[in-house]
Amino acid sequence: MPKFQLLRDFLVSDGVIGEDQLYQPGRPPQAWLELVHETAYVTAYCGGTLDAKAQRRIGLPWSEGLVRRTCTAVGGTILTAKLALNQGLACNTAGGTHHAFPDYGSGFCIFNDIAIATRLLKAQNLLKTILVVDLDVHQGDGTAWIFRNDPTVFTFSMHCAVNFPSRKQISDLDIPLNEGTEDDEYLRQLANHLPGLVTQIEPDLVLYDAGVDPHRNDRLGKLALTDEGLYRRDKYVLETCAQAGYPVACVIGGGYGKDMGALIQRHAYLHRAASEVYQKYC
């Protein structure tokens, strides 16, 4: 998928970030992936021996290039989380594969980067509590299931009620939204819940999935946010956390517009908002 490189190039060419703000992640060792995923699944996917049914469930044709991209994105989320702990705020230009479960992938998601980064940072004693704020239009079902019995990880998902996955998991807090929800109602719901969660949980890190598929022109969305609504959403999340002193690591999540240029602009709102919030609070 070209959007990841296009987003990186756009952010630099448009002056949102400078080359000195870019970090290149490495491919994580298999042992890190296995903090969340079963060995047989990781080995089969990376080696190209995953059966056809499992590949269809993922929805992406296997290739060595896709394996490299998938693992690099996981490495990017790990690096982003560590940078956020050190700097207060950091953004990946990929990530947000929240439909991946321990033994299978689903919905274009192969390995759950949010869960892997969380488990790794906890194993390395870099943090104890995490708040996952998932504002992708689809429920973060894989993440919710993985942490269903972990009181140190609070999963918050605000998503379209009548969208994929048809079978929802139980997050610590789910806010299902009606089809066609627009900016003001969406932001009202977010404001009703996020500040209280941050105050209640006092997380060592907030992991924010800033999917742009709630946009009104998204092919898979079913909500009706505008460009302005997406930007206001991202800035609100980042300001709420940063102003209270909680570091935030961001991933870009889903986005499925037909116009690639417009899609890149939507993903860039996260980074624009992060730049402004970082300069003000971090």
Q: Which residues are catalytic?
A: 99
Give the per-residue SS3 of the chain.
CCHHHHHHHHHHHCCCCCHHHCCCCCCCCHHHHCCCCCHHHHHHHHHCCCCHHHHHHHCCCCCHHHHHHHHHHHHHHHHHHHHHHHHCEEECCCCCCCCCECCECECCECCCHHHHHHHHHHHCCCCCCEEEEECCCCCCHHHHHHCCCCCCEEEEEEEECCCCCCCCCCCCEEEEECCCCCHHHHHHHHHHHHHHHHHHHCCCEEEEECCCCCECCCCCCCCCECHHHHHHHHHHHHHHHHHCCCCEEEECCCCCCCCHHHHHHHHHHHHHHHHHHHHHHC
